[in-house]
Amino acid sequence: MLHPHEIFARMSATAASDLLGFLYEKEKPLYRATLDSLAKQRNLRPVFLERKPRNERHAWLHEALGRKANSTISAHLLQVWLVGAHSSLLCDFLDGFGISHDANGTLETLPPAPPEEDLVRVLDQLLAKYPAETVSIYLHAFQSLDGEGWTTLETLLQKDSRFALGAA
């Protein structure tokens, strides 16, 4: 199971830029707090990063969020981005199993793992509808952020190359 910082470390620069761009546009206080926190961690003044062009700033943030020390921050940012920008993906995933959820695709208690054949069917549907890397990020985050996740999903993520993030 990948930890949140490992998901960041393995996601493409494009996906990281999309995530950070979403935070910059829609979650400005969180974006600013993240920038401040990570800058201070590296003994930098936040203004130093704020003056960088956005693409350089996002590359720096992407690298910083891929460090183990920032796993908690990475987890929070993944959750905000997935729920805020990709709630339809979350809802389609849960709907595929008949799991009730709120309008954003979140739930209180994770039900038992579905059989592998049901999982494959739902994941094939998701891959036909959404970008493969976004689906992969969601699935790895789903496993990581729950604490235990589903063993059938974990097995599938390990053996199916369509869900690999970056280099192993």
Look at the pTM and tell me if it is higher than 0.95: no
Please say if the pLDDT value at position 148 is more than 80: no
Residue 159's pLDDT is what?
93
Please say if the pLDDT value at position 168 is more than 90: no
Quickly state the pLDDT bin for 107 (edges 50, 70, 90). Answer: confident
DSSP string, 98-162: T----TTS--SSPPPPPPHHHHHHHHHHHHHHS-HHHHHHHHHHHHHHHSS--HHHHHHHHH-GG
| Model pLDDT for residues 40-71, shown as the tens digit of each residue | 998 988 888 889 999 999 999 999 999 999 99
Do residues 146 and 110 lie in contact, with contact meaning Cβ atoms separated by under 8 Å?
A: yes
Domain assignments of the chain as residue spans, ordered by start: 4-85, 87-163
% the chain with pLDDT above 90: 83
The stretch 95-114 carries a mean pLDDT of 90
